[in-house]
Amino acid sequence: MISIKNLHKSYQMGSSSLHVLKGIDFEVEEGELVAIMGSSGSGKSTLLNILGMLDTADEGDYILDGVEIKDLDETKAAKYRNKFLGFVFQSFNLINYKNAAENVSLPLYYQGVSRKERQQVALEYLDRVGLKEWATHLPSELSGGQKQRVAIARAMASQPKVLLADEPTGALDTKTSYEVMDLIQQINDEGNTILVVTHEPDIAQMCKRIVMLKDGVIVEDKKVKQVKAAAHV
């Protein structure tokens, strides 16, 4: 599903340059649930943003679902991004003046889905995350966990090949974090490929594989022997 080879990324800051990713090699198969760990500043978000086509690498190869992601113009990049990828962020990134259903259906609008189908799909996905009754509520009327579930419904409604989550539980208390991870595990059980950036070891233990980033390289890549079921903690 994902194959990257010798990926490098530096940030230019005036006359100095910060080498953040220093040759990352990484493969993800369809259906995996991978945690990307590492201390703050280790390059987790940079890597996820490149995988999510929100940013480009300086060097290296990236193949996503058989498509080489390189030198794409912005229109093509946007097309692949919509088609292949779903995003979930720590800060939810919902639109405050739109209700839950409108937030879920907005990406579908940009994909040219008809109004009627958008409404239907939005309700279907809100139902899947247990929030059908909250469809007409604004984000300000939802708890943090509910907001993140709306964000997950929004990401999944386009049926992406890969769901990318950057610290999805970073702004949530422990109980709510586990509820969100329970949902992520359920979505993975349905066969979806998911990458979760986290710096919390207990959250990583709820994934099937843990990749550790340090100083711009992968220092460890291991299968989780006993995946923690989020629903039972």
Q: Which residues bind ligand ADP (CB under 6 A)?
A: 11, 13, 18, 20, 38, 40-46
Nearer of residues 41 and 130 to Mg ion, judged by Cβ: 41
Element (H, E) at 74: helix 74-84
How far apart, in Å, are the Cα atoms of 27 and each of 5, 15, 144? 9, 34, 32
Q: Which residues pair with 108 in a beta bridge?
A: none
Least Cβ distance, residue 42 to ligand ADP (angstroms): 4
Task: Determine, following the binding rule CB under 5 A, whether residue 45 of this chain makes contact with Mg ion.
Answer: yes
Q: How far apart are CA 183 and CA 206, in angstroms?
A: 11
Nearer of residues 45 and 158 to Mg ion, judged by Cβ: 45
Least Cβ distance, residue 97 to Mg ion (angstroms): 27
Token reading at 141: 């009327």
Q: Give residues with Cβ within 8 angstroms of 13, minimum separation 6.
A: none
Nearer of residues 20 and 33 to ligand ADP, judged by Cβ: 20
Least Cβ distance, residue 34 to ligand ADP (angstroms): 15
Q: How far apart are CA 139 and CA 144, in angstroms?
A: 9
Contact stretch for Mg ion (CB under 5 A) within 9-17, 37-45, 74-82, 214-222: 37-45
Element (H, E) at 220: strand 217-223
Nearer of residues 11 and 110 to ligand ADP, judged by Cβ: 11
Query: Which of ligand ADP, Mg ion, none interacts with 226 (beta carbon under 5 to 8 A by kind)?
Result: none
Token reading at 123: 């309700």
Task: Determine, following the binding rule CB under 5 A, whether residue 46 of this chain makes contact with Mg ion.
Answer: no
Contact residues toward Mg ion (CB under 5 A) are: 45
